[in-house]
Amino acid sequence: MGFAGTPAFAARALAGIHEHGMTIPVVLTRPDRPYGRGLALMSSPVKRFASEQELRVEAPIALRDSDVVAALHSIPLDVLVVAAYGLILPQSVLDWPRHGCLNIHASLLPRWRGAAPIARAIEAGDEATGITIMRMDAGLDTGPIVTATALDIAPRETTGSLTGRLAELGAATIVATLDMLARKGTLNTMPQPAEGASYAAKIGPADALLDWTRDAVSLDRQIRAMSPSPGTVAGWHGKPVKVRAAMPAEGSPSANPGTVTGVGAQGIDIACGNATVLRVTEMQPAAGKPMPARAFAAGYRVAAGELFEPGR
């Protein structure tokens, strides 16, 4: 079987398959990308793991080039496992493996098809998500379902913590699925339900901007959904500041949204929409390091009555 993936979520699945003793003749991943201030080229987590295990790695820029497709078809495959690869597979690649392509998707399809299912589930306040193993077709996460396993979302879950838990579940689920394919020679599938589909749009710059006119519960979800990256942004005296962690707090202030209603050892309380309060517990000033909100308050002289601006 082959494998296609890029981030750490995918690398965990690749590791699970490799540890299970399955033969992996080729690994596809995205090309090395510039990273950091020095713009040094950095390999993806999948490429780093595959290289450490001396697996063959291919990193095509695109998959529609006829020479690339021909080179792939020269490698016999029973199945291609795909996890957060980052490139759309054309029909010529979908037709490559004998048993097709299996996708490890981090949601309970058809909910949250698309690029950012984990963050969007937290942002929406979902109580559960999961892993779906899907036989890929030409649509965007529309293929028939092989199996789906649910996972509860913890009350204070972040995208970072939930991604880690889903990565473990994804690895275990795909290994079990591949074992079933090896035993039976085929996999039963069922079409995705016609109702309940939603789209998990890719995270963009606007998703990081805090708007204090929203209520504290929705802001808390936004902050956790954008944690650890890209983080969320507010303004303080005209300069951007990242809000790294927060939680709804008690109170029903009449102050304008963004107004500081209290500063203490537990954090900075800020008035939000619908007369709610958000307690910010961790912040990061521009060009600075993350710090407890109480340290930010002491260093930047934050006091009740002052105003945090919306992110820009």
Per-residue model confidence (pLDDT) at position 38: 73
Average confidence (pLDDT) over 125-141: 97
Residue 304: pLDDT above 80?
Answer: yes
Average confidence (pLDDT) over 302-307: 96
pLDDT confidence band for 287 (50 / 70 / 90): confident
Torsion of CA 171, 113, 125, 174, to 10 degrees: -10
- Tell me the per-residue pLDDT of 214-246, one tens digit each, with 9 for 90 and over: 999 999 999 999 999 999 999 999 999 999 999
Residue span(s) of the chain under CATH 3.10.25.10 come to 205-309
**Nearest partner of 117 among 8, 200, 203, judged by Cα:** 200
Residue 37: pLDDT above 90?
Answer: no
Average confidence (pLDDT) over 11-34: 96
Where is pLDDT greater, at 39 or 124? 124
Per-residue model confidence (pLDDT) at position 297: 97
Identify whether the C-beta of residue 204 lies closer than 8 Å to the C-beta of residue 233: no
Hey, what CATH topology would domain 2-200 get?
Rossmann fold (3.40.50)
pLDDT confidence band for 61 (50 / 70 / 90): very high
Homologous superfamily of 205-309 in CATH? Formyl transferase, C-terminal domain (3.10.25.10)
Residue span(s) of the chain under CATH 3.40.50.170 come to 2-200
Residue 40: pLDDT above 90?
Answer: no
Residue 41: pLDDT above 90?
Answer: no
- Tell me the per-residue pLDDT of 92-129, one tens digit each, with 9 for 90 and over: 999 999 999 999 999 999 999 999 999 999 999 999 99
Residue 36: pLDDT above 80?
Answer: no
Question: Which of left, alpha, beta for 9 (phi over 0: left; psi -120 to 50: alpha)?
Answer: alpha
Span between the terminal Cα atoms of the chain, in Å: 46
- Tell me the per-residue pLDDT of 144-175, one tens digit each, with 9 for 90 and over: 999 999 999 999 999 999 999 999 999 999 99
Counting other chains too, the contacts that 303-307 makes at CB distance below 8 Å and 24 or more residues apart are 303/260, 303/263, 304/260, 304/261, 304/262, 304/263, 305/259, 305/260, 306/259, 306/260, 307/256, 307/258, 307/259, 307/260
Q: Where are the alpha helices (DSSP H) in 20-116?
A: 45-52, 66-73, 91-94
pLDDT confidence band for 256 (50 / 70 / 90): very high
Residue owning tokens 């979302």: 153
CB-side neighbour CA atoms (13 Å) of 125: 5
Per-residue model confidence (pLDDT) at position 43: 96
Q: What percent of the chain has pLDDT over 90?
A: 96
Mean pLDDT, the chain, integer: 96
- Tell me the per-residue pLDDT of 170-208, one tens digit each, with 9 for 90 and over: 999 999 999 999 999 999 999 999 899 999 999 999 999
